[in-house]
């Protein structure tokens, strides 16, 4: 009788442990969800770097062009026109770190633009992914993309809006 009771207790304990593991994976989403969140965080950091470069272009050159190609050229060449400001050193033109595609650039106004990307998952309703800092020498700036610290309701294409530092 004790053996039968011990066997039942072992089975019930094993079942409870299996259910706890399955429940935990359902709640946190498992390794696939963690990987997607890490990729989306890397995507946001890259978007922030590109937005910073675009803002430096607008800050030092003037009105934004309809197409991002002239900005990208200036950033990649690190021209003195775009890097004349102390805060505009070490600029990077980043692409999506997962797909290696350019972020979608949309000119809204002379000194306002949007950057868009396709995200693997929505951000948490408990908060967004935080703000990103660009550090150049003794200077550090929060991302110029508004809303990066807010939840993203859905996976898929999402755009962030930015205005450059000063209005001249």
Q: Which residue would you say has higher pLDDT here, 168 or 153? A: 153
Confirm if 121 and 40 have CB atoms less than 8 A apart: yes
What's the 3-state SS for 115-162? EEEEECCCCCCCCCCCCCEEEECCEEEECCEECCCCCCCCCEEEEEEE
For the chain, the structural domain boundaries read: 31-163
pLDDT of residue 22: 64
- CA-based nearest residue to 53, from 29, 78, 33, 19: 78
How many Å apart are CA 35 and CA 50, to the nearest integer? Answer: 23
Q: Taking residues 52-71, what's their average pLDDT?
A: 89
DSSP string, 20-38: HHHHHHHHH-HHHHHHHHH
- Interval 66-117: pLDDT, tens: 999 999 998 888 777 777 776 777 888 999 999 999 999 999 998 889 999 9
Coil vs helix vs strand at 47: helix
What predicted TM-score, i.e. pTM, was given to this entire model?
Answer: 0.72
Coil vs helix vs strand at 166: coil
How many Å apart are CA 134 and CA 102, to the nearest integer? Answer: 20
Provide the pLDDT confidence category of residue 21 given band limits of 50, 70 and 90.
low
What Cα–Cα distance (Å) separates residue 146 from each residue in 38, 95, 131?
A: 20, 19, 9
DSSP string, 59-108: HHT-SPPSSSHHHHHHHHHT-TTTT-SGGG-S------TTT-PPPEEEEE
Least confident of 53-57, 87-91, 127-131: 127-131
Q: Taking residues 141-151, what's their average pLDDT?
A: 71
How many Å apart are CA 94 and CA 75, to the nearest integer? Answer: 10
**Cα 94–Cα 76–Cα 38 angle in degrees, nearest 5:** 10
């Amino acid at each position: 009788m004790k053996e039968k009771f011990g066997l039942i207790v072992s089975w019930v304990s094993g079942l409870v442990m299996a259910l706890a593991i399955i429940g935990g994976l359902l709640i946190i989403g498992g390794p696939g969800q963690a990987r997607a969140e890490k990729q989306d965080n890397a995507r946001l950091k890259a978007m922030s770097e590109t937005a910073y470069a675009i803002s430096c272009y607008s800050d030092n050159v003037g009105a934004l062009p309809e197409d991002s190609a002239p900005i990208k050229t200036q950033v990649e060449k690190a021209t003195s026109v775009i890097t004349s400001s102390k805060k505009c050193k070490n600029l990077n033109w980043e692409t999506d770190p997962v797909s290696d595609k350019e972020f979608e650039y949309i000119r809204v106004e002379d000194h306002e633009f949007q950057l868009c990307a396709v995200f693997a998952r929505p951000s948490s309703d408990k908060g967004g992914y935080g703000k990103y800092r660009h550090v150049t020498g003794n200077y550090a700036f929060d991302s110029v993309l508004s809303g990066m610290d807010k939840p993203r309701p859905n996976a898929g294409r999402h755009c962030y809006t930015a205005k450059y530092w000063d209005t001249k």
